[in-house]
Chains A and B, each alone.
Chain A
Amino acid sequence: MLVAHLDPLAASIFSLMAIASLLLAFVMLGSRWLINYLYAFAAESWVIAALSAAVAFYGNYPKLYLIAILTALFRGLFLPYLVWRIIRRLNVAREIHEILQPSSALVAGALCVVFSLTVAYRIGQSLGLAGTVAVLALTIMLSIKLIGFLMLSVRHEALSQILGLLVLENGIFLGAQILVPGMPMLIEIVILFDLLIIVVCFGLLVQYLVSHVGSTSSLSLKRLVG
């Protein structure tokens, strides 16, 4: 078990990176402009890649170096590039109808973190891991998840929803690097490719939305009710 006996330096580095990615999730939650949203997502992916490399170094999991490279390339460069292409084609620069002001969204996000901390603390105690980086990893995993759901529910642009889904996955991936660094590589690689397919499919569907529905806001999707 990596997290149980970790030297203090490694634990602080892991914590720092995990917290950095949580902050980036808040940046996404607070930004109106889609392009900032995208930059924050790319930056978060790079932080996760760095975290993979750090875990590989301190935990002696050489295969995680490969995961780190793939994460940086796929999540940090290729996926943002694909999303950027969709943004450029669509001509939508920002969220127009907000259900929640970014400031209120940030407060709601903070509540999500508090909730996640409570859950993670309980689990950590019952596992005898209280006070280790595992609790922090679990907190951040759950709170990025909740923040992702928050973004999905308060944003309406199709692109924000794609990015929201990618954030959901980022949270899981981040936690998995710290909690289960030994997870078989096959799974992680397949999930990376799977993400790629997801984004391509979304891109196609966004095109259909533009050409057949005439809008990329989910507010205009209300033909089917009841």
Chain B
Amino acid sequence: MTGTLLLILMITPAIAAGACLIFRAPRFVESVNLLASIVVFVMAIPLAILSAGGPYRLLGNYVVLDMVGAWVILCTAIVYLLASIYSVGYMRLLDEDPKLWGFYALFSGFAFTILLSAIMNNAGLYWIAIELTTLVSAFLVAFERAAESIEAAWKYIIVVSAGISLALLGTVLFYWSGSFVLGSTYDMSWDVLRDAAPKMNAALVTLAFLLVLIGYGTKVGLAPMHSWLPDAHSESPAPISAMLSGALLNGAMLGIVRFLTIADAAQVGGLARTTLVALGVVSLLIGALFIVRQNGIKRLIAYSSVEHMGVVALGFGFGGPLGVAGALYHMLNHSLNKSLMFFGAGNVMRGFGSKEIGDIRGVWARNSAHGALWLAGAAAITGAPPFGLFLSELVILRAGLEHGFGWAVYAMIVLLIVIFIGFLNHFRGMYFGLAPEAEATPLRLSNWCVAPMWLALAPLLLFGLWWPTGLWDHFLAVAHALTSAAP
């Protein structure tokens, strides 16, 4: 049952990518991709529920479906669905029909590689899946072929490839430290490593974990390795920005979480967690500084991704049931909210013909329904109640206080307030700032461009008002699974 669902989940985007390459009619490829994203979404929900029944190992232990992995799959599926709906409208605006098949082939291929990374049960194969996500998405970043997007793609691929080569080195060192316990040849699956971890050499595991953390941290966009992120997120087409931010970053965070469990089991969790927490605080700091003085609208939202990945890193770094629950909840809320923000930014950029915040004035006056929707998203992304991110940030703060990370908690509170003021100040300018000349031509948007924003906001509001008990129990089970091996 689980195997079949997983197979359908994985094979659908792969088939969609193939179909886009073969049949290149523009209207056909967009519907194929949309259909694939619906199937992926429909499969991801039962998989997330079924995953509670214990990890399922398939294909000779190379594939695993565990609770964290299934959660990342669910977040990815949600963003993939929303972005697919949105891209139907957005890509028509771009008027790139002849190249559309390439876009959708890469798009579904990108979704495929992220999903693949979430189910790899081998540290080496996971690394390869993450490398593939970079290669596929670099071409999506460069899709518009403007000098800026090529520059962004080049920086993206160089910085991230160099970064995750450190993760490969760390992975080899993990294998080496395991080989003292398990002999020279063994399968480097996550639980094998974790079971062997208590007997591994602490110094070597520390070195290996730090390398892995910096490596995958580059991909997650933790500061100070974040430098590719604002470029890539701001120069790619809006649906791809949402995928990069809402789906890809979670997929890379998964690697850090899995290696963190191994470090915990090897008794070096203290240093590992402190480093992760420090990176999280630095990410919040960098996010805050660049959000306050930002000119580009999508760069503003991209720095907010640096910030939120910092918050997720803090959640996992604090650890314990509260920290893990908060971080997982934050992942889901961030995926929903960041999609909403990038879709709105895409609409506004098309409508005003500029990416500069200074040129965008009178968003409210030109389309008040869309303006209200985007403003609600902006309030939500800064962690204002009654939206989901408020709840998850609160839980993470509590987790930090519980586990003796008071300094990080206070830094986080101050920086979140700075970000709240800085981020919304830009929105104040865009909504209520004086327009250079009074042009009140209404901003017309197709339903394809607005509907996914509603679809993202509704659950975000729901999760802010009501944290389902079932979800809470699920998170506790994940936290238990992540820490159970530690003695």
Binding site for B on A (CB under 8 A): 1-2, 119, 122-123, 126-127, 141-142, 145, 148-149, 152, 158, 161, 164-165, 168-169, 171-172, 175-176, 179-184, 187, 190-191, 194, 197-198, 201-202, 204-205, 208-209, 212-214, 218, 221, 223-224, 226
A163 to B: closest C-beta gap in Å: 12
A212 to B: closest C-beta gap in Å: 5
B185: which A residues are within 8 A, CB to CB? 182-184
Contact of A175 among B151, B172, B290 (CB under 8 A): B172
Q: In whole angstroms, how far apart are the Cα atoms of A202 and B294 in the complex?
A: 31
Q: Does B138 contact A (CB under 8 A)?
A: yes
Q: In whole angstroms, how far apart are the Cα atoms of A176 and B124 in the complex?
A: 13
Given A175-B169, A226-B293, 19 more A-B residue pairs with CB atoms under 8 Å apart are A2-B184, A123-B207, A126-B204, A161-B158, A165-B158, A168-B162, A172-B172, A182-B185, A184-B187, A190-B128, A191-B124, A201-B157, A205-B138, A208-B150, A218-B154, A224-B230, A224-B231, A224-B234, A224-B235
Can you report 12 A-B residue pairs in the complex whose CB atoms are below 8 A from each other? A1-B179, A126-B204, A171-B169, A172-B169, A180-B176, A187-B188, A191-B128, A201-B157, A205-B142, A212-B146, A214-B147, A223-B151
Knowing A201-B139, A205-B153, the reply to whether A194 touches B131 (Cβ < 8 A) is yes
User: Are A184 and B162 in touch, CB under 8 angstroms?
Assistant: no
User: Are B122 and A205 in touch, CB under 8 angstroms?
Assistant: no
**Which 7 pairs of residues, A with B, have the shortest CB-CB distance?**
A182-B184, A182-B185, A187-B124, A126-B203, A168-B165, A224-B231, A221-B151
Question: B62's closest neighbor in chain A, by CB?
Answer: A186
A184: which B residues are within 8 A, CB to CB? 124, 185, 187-188
Provide the B175-201 mask, 1 if CB < 8 A to any CB of A, else 0: 110011001111110000000000001
A223: which B residues are within 8 A, CB to CB? 147-148, 151
Q: Does B155 contact A (CB under 8 A)?
A: yes
Q: Does B161 contact A (CB under 8 A)?
A: yes
Q: In whole angstroms, how far apart are the Cα atoms of A2 and B180 in the complex?
A: 11
Q: Does B125 contact A (CB under 8 A)?
A: yes
Q: Does B168 contact A (CB under 8 A)?
A: yes
Binding site for A on B (CB under 8 A): 122, 124-125, 128, 131-132, 135, 138-139, 142, 145-148, 150-155, 157-158, 161-162, 165-166, 168-169, 172, 175-176, 179-180, 183-188, 201-204, 207, 230-231, 234-235, 290, 293-296, 299
Question: B235's closest neighbor in chain A, by CB?
Answer: A224
Q: In whole angstroms, how far apart are the Cα atoms of A181 and B186 in the complex?
A: 11
User: Are B151 and A224 in touch, CB under 8 angstroms?
Assistant: yes
Q: In whole angstroms, how far apart are the Cα atoms of A182 and B178 in the complex?
A: 12
Contact of A209 among B138, B154, B184 (CB under 8 A): B154
A198: which B residues are within 8 A, CB to CB? 131, 135, 161
User: Are B176 and A172 in touch, CB under 8 angstroms?
Assistant: no
A156 to B: closest C-beta gap in Å: 11
Q: In whole angstroms, how far apart are the Cα atoms of A122 and B180 in the complex?
A: 17
A149: which B residues are within 8 A, CB to CB? 162
User: Are A208 and B145 in touch, CB under 8 angstroms?
Assistant: yes
Question: A200's closest neighbor in chain B, by CB?
Answer: B135
B108 to A: closest C-beta gap in Å: 18
A218 to B: closest C-beta gap in Å: 8
User: Are B179 and A180 in touch, CB under 8 angstroms?
Assistant: yes
Contact of A1 among B157, B180, B188, B295 (CB under 8 A): B180
Q: In whole angstroms, how far apart are the Cα atoms of A181 and B175 in the complex?
A: 11
Knowing A122-B203, A169-B168, A213-B150, the reply to whether A180 touches B162 (Cβ < 8 A) is no
Question: B185's closest neighbor in chain A, by CB?
Answer: A182
Q: In whole angstroms, how far apart are the Cα atoms of A127 and B199 in the complex?
A: 12
User: Are A152 and B128 in touch, CB under 8 angstroms?
Assistant: no
User: Are B142 and A179 in touch, CB under 8 angstroms?
Assistant: no
B176: which A residues are within 8 A, CB to CB? 179-180
Question: B158's closest neighbor in chain A, by CB?
Answer: A161
Q: In whole angstroms, how far apart are the Cα atoms of A183 and B174 in the complex?
A: 11
A214: which B residues are within 8 A, CB to CB? 147
B204: which A residues are within 8 A, CB to CB? 123, 126-127
Contact of B150 among A152, A181, A182, A212 (CB under 8 A): A212
Question: A165's closest neighbor in chain B, by CB?
Answer: B161
B301 to A: closest C-beta gap in Å: 14
User: Are B172 and A180 in touch, CB under 8 angstroms?
Assistant: yes
Contact of A145 among B154, B169, B234, B296 (CB under 8 A): B169
Q: In whole angstroms, how far apart are the Cα atoms of A105 and B92 in the complex?
A: 50
Q: In whole angstroms, how far apart are the Cα atoms of A62 and B230 in the complex?
A: 47
User: Are B151 and A202 in touch, CB under 8 angstroms?
Assistant: no
A224: which B residues are within 8 A, CB to CB? 148, 151-152, 155, 230-231, 234-235
B157: which A residues are within 8 A, CB to CB? 201-202, 205
Q: In whole angstroms, how far apart are the Cα atoms of A187 and B125 in the complex?
A: 7
User: Are A205 and B150 in touch, CB under 8 angstroms?
Assistant: yes
User: Are A213 and B295 in touch, CB under 8 angstroms?
Assistant: no
B152: which A residues are within 8 A, CB to CB? 224
A1: which B residues are within 8 A, CB to CB? 179-180, 184
B186 to A: closest C-beta gap in Å: 8
Question: B170's closest neighbor in chain A, by CB?
Answer: A172
B304 to A: closest C-beta gap in Å: 15
B140 to A: closest C-beta gap in Å: 12
Q: In whole angstroms, how far apart are the Cα atoms of A200 and B176 in the complex?
A: 31
B183: which A residues are within 8 A, CB to CB? 182
B175: which A residues are within 8 A, CB to CB? 180, 183
B168: which A residues are within 8 A, CB to CB? 169, 172, 191
Q: In whole angstroms, how far apart are the Cα atoms of A226 and B201 in the complex?
A: 42
B188: which A residues are within 8 A, CB to CB? 184, 187
Q: In whole angstroms, how far apart are the Cα atoms of A213 and B299 in the complex?
A: 21
A175: which B residues are within 8 A, CB to CB? 169, 172
A2 to B: closest C-beta gap in Å: 7
Q: In whole angstroms, how far apart are the Cα atoms of A171 and B153 in the complex?
A: 25
